[in-house]
């Protein structure tokens, strides 16, 4: 009976570890920006992607959905109001399919100070980290010069 209980406990532990959510990309960006002068977005994702889009605050649903692959049919339902003042929308695409999307809070770091759309490839998704122009407690990400 003891061996059976141990086996059940081991299986439960492995299941919990395997199903634990990994940190969000936004959280990884913030953690890296807090300790490094540059961030490499491709190194902070746990999934492959060909193209990343960063939509700035105030980006409309129309703008977002027009820029994303047609295969992302749930675009309008996912972002009915577009992107709010306090966020960026990060969307990762592979082979013309959206593989991941999430909101990134401006407090975690700013990609641009005005409404913007950045389109990045893994090899060019590098940013220099510096102080924000809009808030002293935030970081600002400037595309790294090649």
| Residue ranges covered by each domain of the chain | 23-143
- Joined tokens for residue 51: 């193209």
Output the CA–CA distances (angstroms, integers) from residue 34 to 54, 63, 89, 135, in the order listed: 20, 31, 20, 15
pLDDT in tens, 18-37: 333 568 999 999 999 999 89
pLDDT in tens, 84-129: 999 999 999 999 999 999 999 999 999 986 678 999 999 999 999 9
Contact (CB, 8 A) for 109 and 133: no
SS3 (DSSP) at 65: helix
pLDDT in tens, 41-81: 999 999 999 999 999 999 999 999 999 999 999 999 999 99
Given phi > 0 = left and psi -120 to 50 = alpha, else beta, which region is 30?
Answer: alpha
Residue 121 confidence (pLDDT) = 95
Residue 143 confidence (pLDDT) = 83
Residue 17 confidence (pLDDT) = 33
Q: In the structure, what pLDDT confidence band is assigned to residue 136 with cuts at 50, 70 and 90? A: low
Model confidence pTM above 0.85: no
């Amino acid at each position: 009976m003891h061996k059976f209980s141990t086996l059940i406990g081991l299986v439960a532990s492995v299941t919990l570890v395997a199903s634990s959510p990994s940190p969000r990309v936004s959280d990884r960006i913030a953690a890296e920006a807090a300790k490094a002068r540059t961030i490499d977005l491709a190194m902070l994702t746990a999934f492959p992607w060909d193209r990343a889009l960063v939509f700035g605050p105030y980006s409309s649903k129309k703008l977002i959905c027009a820029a994303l692959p047609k295969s992302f049919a749930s675009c309008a339902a996912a972002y009915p109001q577009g992107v709010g003042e306090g966020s960026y929308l990060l969307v990762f695409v592979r082979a013309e399919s959206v593989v991941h999307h999430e909101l990134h809070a401006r407090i975690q770091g700013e990609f641009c100070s005005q409404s913007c759309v950045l389109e990045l490839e893994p090899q060019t998704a590098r940013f220099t980290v510096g102080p924000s122009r809009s808030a002293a407690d935030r970081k600002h990400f400037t595309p790294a010069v090649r």
